[in-house]
Structure 1
Amino acid sequence: MIQALAVKAHTYLILADGGVPQPSRNAPPKLTDKVNTVLGLLAWVGTAAGVAGVLITGAMMAVSMRRGEGSEHMGRLGMVLGGCVLVATAGPVVQFVFT
C-alpha cells in the first residue's frame, strides 16, 4: 500500500515538474504483426466500400436522369466521397499520432 502511494506521488511529482512521461514500446512482435494485418485488411475493405459506394451512387444518378427525376443524389455522393476521404486519411493520422 505504501509502495503504491509512493509510485502515485512520484507520478504526480513528475507531472507537476513539467516532465512528460515517455512510454516505451514493448509490445510483442507477434501481436503487432497481427494488429497490422487486421488494420491493413480493414483499410482495404474501407477502400472497396468507398469505390462500391461511388459506383452505386453513379448508377443511381444515371437511372434517375434517365427517368427524368431530380438530382437528389448529389448529397449522397458528397457523403460517400466524405467517407472515402475519412477512410483514406485515417491510417496516416493514426500513424502520425502514435509514432
Structure 2
Amino acid sequence: MIKALAVKAHSYVILADGKIPDPTRDAPDKLTSKVNTVLGLLAWVGTAAGVAGVLITGAMMAISMRRGEGSEHMGRLGMVLGGCVLVATAGPVVTFVFG
C-alpha cells in the first residue's frame, strides 16, 4: 500500500503522485431540493422584513419630523439597511464558499 503525502501549494492539495483530487458531490436530490426550498423561503422572508423595516423607519422619521423632534432614527435606518445587505449577500457568499 502506497501512502500518498499531501503537499499544500497555492491553495491546492497535490498528492505525491501529482494528481489533484476532484471529489464528487453525492448529496441526495430530495435533500438538496428541500434545503433549496427552505433557503429560498428564508431569503424571501428576510427581504420582506427588510422592506417592512425601511417603510416603518421612514414612517417613524416622518412622524418625528412633523412633531419637531430630533432625527435619532438614522441609526435605526442604518441597522435596517445593514440587515438588508446581509440578507442580499448571504446566498452569493454561501454559493461562493460551498459552490
Q: Does 1:40 align with 2:37?
A: no
Matches of 1:67 and 1:60 in 2, distance apart? 11
Matches of 1:78 and 1:54 in 2, distance apart? 9
Matches of 1:66 and 1:23 in 2, distance apart? 62
Matches of 2:40 and 2:77 in 1, distance apart? 25
Matches of 1:37 and 1:76 in 2, distance apart? 31
Matches of 2:73 and 2:25 in 1, distance apart? 47
RCO comparison, higher one (Cα < 8 Å, 6+): 1
Cα shift readout 1:33-83 (whole Å, capped 9, x = no counterpart): 000000000000000000000000001001101111000000100110011
Q: Normalized against structure 2, the TM-score is what?
A: 0.80
Alignment map for 1:9-48 (pairs within 5 Å): 13-14=5-6, 17-18=7-8, 19=13, 22-48=22-48
Q: Normalized against structure 1, the TM-score is what?
A: 0.80
* Unpaired runs of at least 5, structure 1: 1-9
Identity in percent: 83
Q: Which has a greater percent of strand?
A: 2
**Runs of 4 or more off by more than 2 Å in structure 1?**
17-24
Alignment map for 1:65-84 (pairs within 5 Å): 65-84=65-84
Q: Which amino acid aligns with 1:89?
A: T
2:98 matched residue in structure 1 = 98
Q: Which has a greater percent of helix?
A: 1
Aligned residue pairs total 88
Matches of 1:69 and 1:29 in 2, distance apart? 56
Aligned CA-pair RMSD: 1.8
Matches of 2:23 and 2:38 in 1, distance apart? 24
